[in-house]
Amino acid sequence: MGAAYGTAKSGVGISSMGVMRPDMVMRSIIPVVMAGVLGIYGLITAVIINGKMDAATYSAYSGYAHLGAGLTVGMSSLAAGLAIGIVGDAGVRANAQQPRLFVGMILILIFAEALGLYGLIVGKGKGLMAMYSASTLMEMQKCDPSSAFFGFMGVTSAIVFANMGAAYGTAKSGVGISSMGVMRPDMVMRSIIPVVMAGVLGIYGLITAVIINGKMDAATYSAYSGYAHLGAGLTVGMSSLAAGLAIGIVGDAGVRANAQQPRLFVGMILILIFAEALGLYGLIVGLVVASTAEGKGKGLCSPYNV
Of the candidates 217, 234, 233, 243, the one whose C-alpha atom is nearest the C-alpha of residue 297 is: 217
First-to-last C-alpha distance (Å) of the chain? 37
Residue 101: pLDDT band by 50, 70, 90 thresholds?
A: very high
Which DSSP symbol is given to 190? G
| Residues 91, 14 contacting (CB under 8 angstroms) | no
Structural domains of the chain, with CATH? 1-130+144-297 (1.20.120.610)
Report how far apart, in Å, the C-alpha atoms of 116 and of each of 3, 71, 163, 266 are.
10, 12, 8, 31
Which has the minimum average pLDDT: 115-124, 200-209, 220-229, 258-267? 220-229
Sign, CA dihedral 100-175-166-70, equals negative
Average pLDDT, the chain: 88
- pLDDT tens per residue across span 202-212: 999 999 999 99
Which DSSP symbol is given to 183? T
Main-chain phi, psi angles of 303, to 5 degrees: -60, 145
Residue 54: pLDDT band by 50, 70, 90 thresholds?
A: confident
Report how far apart, in Å, the C-alpha atoms of 161 and of each of 126, 202, 203, 305 are.
17, 9, 12, 35
| Residues 170, 83 contacting (CB under 8 angstroms) | yes
Query: What string of H, E and C letters represents the secondary structure of 2-66?
Result: HHHHHHHHHHHHHHHHHCCCHHHCCHHHHHHHHHHHHHHHHHHHHHHHHHCCCCCCCCHHHHHHH
**Beta-strand (E) ranges in the chain?**
none
What is the rounded CA–CA span in Å between residue 216 and residue 293? 10
Is the model's pLDDT at 281 over the cut of 80?
A: yes
Most confident by average pLDDT, 125-129, 179-183, 220-224: 179-183
β-sheet bridge partners, residue 143: 303
Residue 220: pLDDT band by 50, 70, 90 thresholds?
A: confident
> Does residue 218 sit in helix, strand or coil?
coil
Buried b (16+ CB within 10 A) or exposed e, 50-80: eebeeeeebbbbbebbbbbbbbbbbbbbbbb
**Region 163-168: what's the mean pLDDT?**
97
What is the rounded CA–CA span in Å between residue 276 and residue 125? 27
Of the candidates 46, 250, 262, the one whose C-alpha atom is nearest the C-alpha of residue 168 is: 250
Of the candidates 196, 168, 188, 169, the one whose C-alpha atom is nearest the C-alpha of residue 258 is: 188
Which DSSP symbol is given to 301? P
| % of the chain residues with pLDDT over 70 | 89
pLDDT of residue 11: 95
**Region 47-70: what's the mean pLDDT?**
87
pLDDT of residue 133: 42
